[in-house]
Amino acid sequence: MANDTRTLKDGQRAYEAKRAAKAGMSLDKWLTEKQRQADAAARAEAKAAHADKKAEKKPGFFTRLLDKAHKPL
């Protein structure tokens, strides 16, 4: 996501400037904060995907062996 003031079109820059003014920030600070939040959301999503992948992993050999040993006959 390119949120640099040099890459924003005039209409986008005006919209973001309005939102920044409403939040009491400068445009540069607003865009930096917006990018930081987008990066944090992407990291959280990647972490959740990694946790799901880790949860899908089947138990190891010794874990399965111990589980079988603890089952009643």
Cα torsion at 25, 29, 31, 35 (round to 10°)? -120
pLDDT in tens, 6-18: 688 999 999 999 9
Total-model pTM: 0.58
pLDDT in tens, 56-71: 778 889 999 999 999 9
Give the start-to-end residue ranges of the domains of the chain.
10-70
What is the residue whose two structure tokens read 């986008």? Answer: 12
**With 0-12 CB in 10 A as exposed, 13-18 as middle and 19+ as buried, what is 31?**
buried
pLDDT in tens, 19-69: 999 999 999 999 999 999 999 999 999 888 887 776 677 888 999 999 999
Spatial neighbors of 19 by CB under 8 A, at least 6 apart, are 30
Spatial neighbors of 67 by CB under 8 A, at least 6 apart, are 59
